[in-house]
Amino acid sequence: MSKQPLIVQNNEDKKVCNNCTDCCCENIPGAWSPYQLTLLEISKLIERKEAIFWHVYEKWYILRPVNFATENYDSIFTKDYPRGKCCFLLLKGCRLSFENRPLECQGVIPTIGNSCKSSPGTTLEDIGKMWNLYKIRIRKLAKIFDDDHYAL
């Protein structure tokens, strides 16, 4: 695993999340930062159809879990907004350990009343900017998967 400059302490609060009526994991999967996964680890996630690069607002390519209910792409890239349940969500919650969850997921602070906020440095924009520094890696993955949808 690459060096992750931002470590988020485990802030899970199952009591708050179990009573949430607008669960983030059921609506939009969070984004991994490029520091969390090696090229090989990303390749495996993509092979298992558990992750995809999302071309967010035509600005950044970020890696996020797929939404199993509606997403089944041939490409490793998509522009689609991932509205729906994250593929890692089980009845009891996320099946990934806190340490292995996407940085954006780790950064959300569970708060009563559907008013959860992200901790500093963990928003989609923050993570999109991180991925902009890792375009070479994205190009490598496009080559590995013989996918020419990557435009940069």
**Three-state SS for 14?**
helix
Name residues contacting ligand SF4, limited to 102-121 (CB under 6 A). Answer: 102, 105, 108, 110, 116
Q: Look up residue 34 and give its two tokens.
A: 């490029």
CB of 83 to ligand SF4, least distance (A): 13
Contact call for residue 68 and ligand SF4 (CB under 6 A):
no
- What is each CA distance from 151 to 10, 61, 68, 73, 129, in whole angstroms? 36, 10, 25, 17, 17
CA-CA distance, 68 to 132, in Å (whole number)?
Answer: 26
Instruction: Select from 33-41, 81-89, 124-132, 140-148 the region that touches ligand SF4 (CB under 6 A).
Output: 81-89
Interface ranges with ligand SF4 (CB under 6 A): 16-17, 20, 22-25, 29-30, 65, 86, 88-89, 94, 96, 101-102, 105, 108, 110, 116
